[in-house]
A and B are shown apart, each in its own frame.
Chain A
Amino acid sequence: MSTSLFTITDKPISIEEVVQKVIRPEAGAVTAFIGTVREFTNGKRTLFLQYEAYVSMAEKMLEQIGKEISERWPEAKVAITHRIGRLDISDLAVVIAVSTPHRKDAYEANQYAIERIKQIVPIWKKEHWEDGTEWVGNQLETKAYPTGKPEGEDLA
């Protein structure tokens, strides 16, 4: 696995390896968020997912999220690995590890990271349902981009 803190991979993710990247003497807390492939969404059954990324830009955007976290939580260290390609039910799609001296910051910074991934990192998933396929748009359904572009904080 890559030694870089911010990685897109087409191989299975090792939780242990991502977590090890942020373990250090200054840390008293480590949070790991693990995003897995869900079988049922609103009663619809997923067979498998296909993730695609604009890899070079996606890794830059993950780095940017790391910088944003450093501004908000200066003592945090973050590592993010996102997998692409075909993923089956319960496969790990993303692992985010954050270490901080105290636990509250580790929880908050980790949640911030996953929310930002869903806003700015160019990764897409294609659902392969029992009865067809569909590229998933904005799953947060909070961003309509009425002007056709991200604005304000999304560009920060």
Chain B
Amino acid sequence: MITLLFFSYLKEAVGNEQIKMEYTPITIKQLKQQLETDYGLDLQHVMVAVNEEYAQEGQLLQPGDTIAFIPPVSGG
């Protein structure tokens, strides 16, 4: 299994803060494309963190990963 986390407007768009998914060996880029299709999202400007570290699009997911979708941040 992998865990997906959504924040800010993405959480509202997906309707969930957290989704569990069956693990498949895909990259972050492929996962983003899948979610864009399934939920009608635009993830072009959304960063991704795997297990609380920013990750590159080409990174291959591992079983048990927690993948967070991080819209442009607005703290401070």
Chain A interface (Cβ within 8 Å of chain B)? Answer: 35, 51-54, 56-58, 60, 82, 93-94, 114, 117-126, 135-139, 143-150, 154-155
Contacts and interface: CB of A to CB of B under 8 A. Distances in A.
B2 interface: no
A148 B47 contact: yes
Nearest to B28: A149
Contacts of A118: 73-76
Given A57-B49, A93-B76, A118-B76, 10 more contacts: A52-B8, A117-B76, A120-B73, A122-B75, A124-B73, A125-B74, A135-B74, A138-B74, A148-B46, A149-B57
B70 A122 contact: yes
A6 to B, nearest CB: 13
B8 A135 contact: yes
8 contacts: A54-B70, A93-B75, A122-B73, A123-B73, A138-B73, A143-B72, A149-B47, A154-B54
- The 7 A-B residue pairs with the shortest CB-CB distance, nearest first, are A123-B75, A138-B72, A124-B8, A136-B74, A57-B52, A135-B9, A137-B72
Contact of B45 (A52, A53, A144): A144
A150 B70 CA distance: 11
B56 A149 contact: yes
B43 interface: yes
Contacts of A58: 75
Contacts of B5: 54
A143 B49 CA distance: 17
Contacts of A147: 57
Interface in B59-74: 68, 70-74
A52 to B, nearest CB: 6
Contacts of A154: 54
